[in-house]
Amino acid sequence: MVTDKQNISVNVVDYPYDTSVPLLDNEQFFYIRDEKRHKGRGLAAILTQPPSVQYRTLAERVKNQSKYGFPSHKLVLLIHGHQSFKNALYQPLLADKLSQEGYYVLRIDFRGLGDSEDCWDPKLGRTIKQDVEDLTTIYEFVSSEACKLLLGRTLTLDTIVAHSRGVISMFEFAREVYVPNLINCCGRFDSHGLLLKAARRSPTWEADGGFYCHTLRFGEWQDVWIPKAETLSAGTLDSSKFKEIDSGTWVLSVYTATDPIIPITAAAGYSNLFAGRHTLNIVPNCDHNFYGLPDDPNKLNLSLRKGKVNYGVYLVKELVEYLKEENQLERFYKTHQLIKSAKNEGDVRNRWCLPYEFSQISNFRDVGGYTTGSGTQVRPGIMYRCANPNEATAGALDYMKSDLSVNKIFDLRATNEAIEGGIIPEFDVENLSFNNNMTLSPEEMAKHYQGMFLSSYNFPQAYEIVLENSLPTIRHIFEYVLDGNVDEKHAIVFHCTAGKDRTGILGMLILGIAGVDVDTISHDYELTTLGLCTEKRLIAKINGRGDKFYTILGPKGREIAAAYGVTPTEMAANVLSSKYEAMRLFIDSFLSKFGSFDRFFYEQLKFNKIEVEKIKFHLTI
């Protein structure tokens, strides 16, 4: 058993009951328990780990990426519906397929169902409040020390996939906790319909105080009493309050065109409720549980399950595609494109405030707007990041001065690199080169370029070198903030060549010391993937290196590249990439070495506690 300081315990055991769905080689069965919420063994859970964790070295993982996605820090949670369990319907197949994409996937039994402990109060049964408590336990587990001890890393609850009644619990939970992706499979919109369903099932259910339902419990199908309070908790919920869910959350709703339980009007209800951050998918010809109707012609040539066409296979394919990293990036871009001021409701800004078509500056965006762990907001309109802006149009220069109030630019390139690449005119530009203009030793040089070329997941070793050699520069920039020089009337821009690596490191430190969570920092870093699409000069230069990549890697460059299975074309793509996971791995390394962002500022940048708090004050509202 693994227990952490937050009193979250994980007890890995052999799968205790015979099942028609045996554990895969990359799956574990365990109980998750929080002593505040659970009085028995806790929640029964099956964790599906990415198959790529079987490869011990980074080179092996990179070489096998076409087969198995690189292990992510993202967890997908699968939750079941009314009187169901963790292995029902599409859940085991979805867990398997998503794990192959690099996700960690957890499927659980709510209390009172499957293999989990009994409800806290049998007279109340499985209430929505109890479901939310169970989801909170999972949320706390994935970022806990217990998770780190079990898996070697903490995770982020990236996605919840819920079916039927579980959808209501998911949305109620997400009113309080930010989750980037919520997937609603056949969820009820008009909760009162659940009361009507209960009346059809058992006309005297209210007078009787409940009804019996046949379900799986500890490996056996049995009749379980459903108290009246359990049904009322879900049947009287006001779904309009789900609109309070964080605006950064994107919702996918999947309904079936012929569902006999949930009316198709529920799809319209959620489409309207989450307008602007909602996707709708209608699956044809199947019932509430994604099984084909009688005499289904099976035009999609799907497999059969229980003698019926299994549309769960189709659903799984759609959900895997939906959660591909490029689609996740596009949704983060859309949900964070506009910055709404936490202090002024009418103050709405465009994060990408200088479009390339107008400015000829790539990757120009506002660093602010993100919410911090303490509930404040990173000040918008005071800091901007970008790629080399030396070809900015006259209109862009005027706009930066008049509308963005930029009066200072920090150029993070090496001195010679800045002279060669050009410097933006008409501004106070201070060249504060990262790496302190130092010439790296042959060993450091090889390590640096191996980190940049072989795989984006190798970036942390390159970023660690840059960070270590840039401490005086970094301190100087934050001294500038500390002295009160940065506000909406005196904004700054910082950039390197691509606005990706050195700029990305500084952006991480700004957001990190402000209190933004590591998941959001990593997503913000990934936005550069979109921002660099216009950087034709740099792309052409990198792609033109060809076989020179081997030489830069050192005397054994070809052997090293072969071990990773990468070609010069792939190395060019790697050096231009800005993957979420690359930044997440770097932050892991950073926190492992320095403990926290605050400690880094104390011990490495030599600011005292009062100064750090003052920096935070200037960066947030």
Q: Which CATH number is associated with domain 2-330?
A: 3.40.50.1820
- Residue 530 tokens, joined: 């979109």
Per-residue pLDDT of 174-186, as tens digits, reads 999 999 999 999 9
The DSSP annotation for 489-511 comes to TBEEEEE-SSSSSHHHHHHHHHH
Nearest partner of 509 among 483, 474, 468, judged by Cα: 474
Average pLDDT over residues 218-246: 91
CA dihedral 333, 339, 340, 343 (to 10 degrees): 140
Band of residue 2 on the pLDDT scale cut at 50, 70, 90 = low
Residue 200 scores a pLDDT above 90 = no
pLDDT at 17: 77
pLDDT class for 4, splitting at 50, 70, 90?
low
Domain parsing of the chain, residue ranges: 2-330, 345-619
pLDDT score for 416: 86
Q: How confident is the model at residue 438 (pLDDT cuts 50, 70, 90)?
A: low
**pLDDT confidence of residue 285:** 86
Superfamily of domain 345-619: Protein tyrosine phosphatase superfamily (3.90.190.10)
| Model pLDDT, residue 450 | 67
Q: What is the pLDDT of residue 444?
A: 52
Average of pLDDT values for 135-159? 94
Backbone angles phi, psi at 158, to 5 degrees: -90, -35
Closest CA to 115 of 220, 21, 22, 33: 220
Q: What is the pLDDT of residue 6?
A: 65
Other Cβ atoms less than 10 A from the Cβ of 453: the count is: 28
Strand partners, 104: 75
For residues 117-129, give the mean pLDDT. 94
CA–CA separation, 102 and 141 (whole Å): 19
Q: Taking each helix axis as running N to C, give the angle between helix 459-468 and helix 471-482, from 0 to 180 degrees, rounded to the nearest 10.
A: 70
pLDDT score recorded for residue 66 = 85
pLDDT band at 446 (very low <50, low <70, confident <90, very high): low
Lowest mean pLDDT across 99-103, 254-258, 433-437, 585-589: 433-437
**pLDDT, mean over the chain:** 91
Q: Of 415, 410, 519, give the one whose Cα is nearest residue 143.
A: 519
**471-482 vs 609-619: helix crossing angle, rounded to 10:** 70
41-76 b/e with 16+ CB inside 10 Å = b? Answer: bbbbbbbbbbbbbebeebbebbbbbeebbbbbbbbb
Least confident of 117-121, 298-302, 432-436: 432-436
Residue 437 confidence (pLDDT) above 70: no
What is the chain's alpha carbon radius of gyration, rounded to the nearest angstrom? 26
Categorize the per-residue pLDDT at 440 as very low, low, confident or very high, splitting at 50, 70 and 90.
very low
Least confident of 325-329, 349-353, 436-440, 490-494: 436-440
Of the chain, the percentage scoring pLDDT greater than 70 comes to 96
